[in-house]
Amino acid sequence: MPNFLSRFFRPFTSSTKMGLGPAEGGAQNIPDTAQKCTVAAGCFWGVEHLFRKNFGDQGLYDARVGYIGGDVNNPGYRAVCTGRTGHAEALQMTFDPSVISYSTLLEFFYKMHDPTTRNRQGADTGTQYRSGIFYHSPEQESMAKEVMEKAQTQWWKSGKISTEILEAGQWWDAETYHQLYLHKNPGGYECPAHYIRSFPPLS
C-alpha cells in the first residue's frame, strides 16, 4: 500500500488513553526542573519522529502525541478526525532546559513544517492539522511570539505564518498505537511537508 494511503487506512480504536511504559515512549524519573513544550504541526506521527530523531539524546526526556485545544473531554482519534472537537493533533515534549532551550525547540518547529498553510500540511487538511504553539508559562508565551516574529521576517517571507499561540489547556494522550508510530512502523506514512529546511540561524 502506498505510504500516503496508510494515513487513511490506519486503524481506529474505541480505547481511550492508556498509560505508556518505557517501551511505548513513557519517561521515568523526570526531575522537577524539567519543562514542557507543546506544539502542533500536522500529522503527529512525523512531528514526533523528527523531534525524537533530532533531540532524543539532547535533553529530551519524553515526547508523547495527543490532542489539545478542543472542547470535548477525552477525545479519540476518530472524533478528532471529524474536525468537530476543536482539537489539534499535537506533540508534548518534556525536556531539560539546562541542555536544550525552549527557543531551540521552537526554531526547529518552524524548520520542520510549513506554518504558512492554514489548517493544512501537505495533503492533510482540517483544523486538526493546524500549526500551533501551546505555552506553559508567561516566559514561554513571550518566547513563542519572539521566535514567530523572527521566523516570519527571516525564514517565511513569502507567506504569512498562521501558527496560533495559545495557553496550553487540557492535554489528552493519543491512543497507544499512535505513540512512537514511525519507530514501530518504519516506512509508515510521513507527511511530505515534514522535513528540515536548510534555513540559516535566526539572528
CA angle 137, 139, 144 (to 5 degrees): 95
Positions marked catalytic: 43
Q: What gap in Å lies between CA 114 and CA 122, rounded to an integer?
A: 9
Write b or e for each residue in 75-95: b if 16 or more Cβ atoms lie within 10 A of its Cβ, otherwise e: bbbebbbeeebebbbbbbbbb
- Cα–Cα distance list, 25 to 20, 102, 136 (Å): 6, 21, 21
Strand pairing partners for 121? 124
**Distant-in-sequence, close-in-space partners of 92: CB < 8 Å, separation ≥ 6:** 36, 37, 38, 63, 64, 65, 66, 68, 171
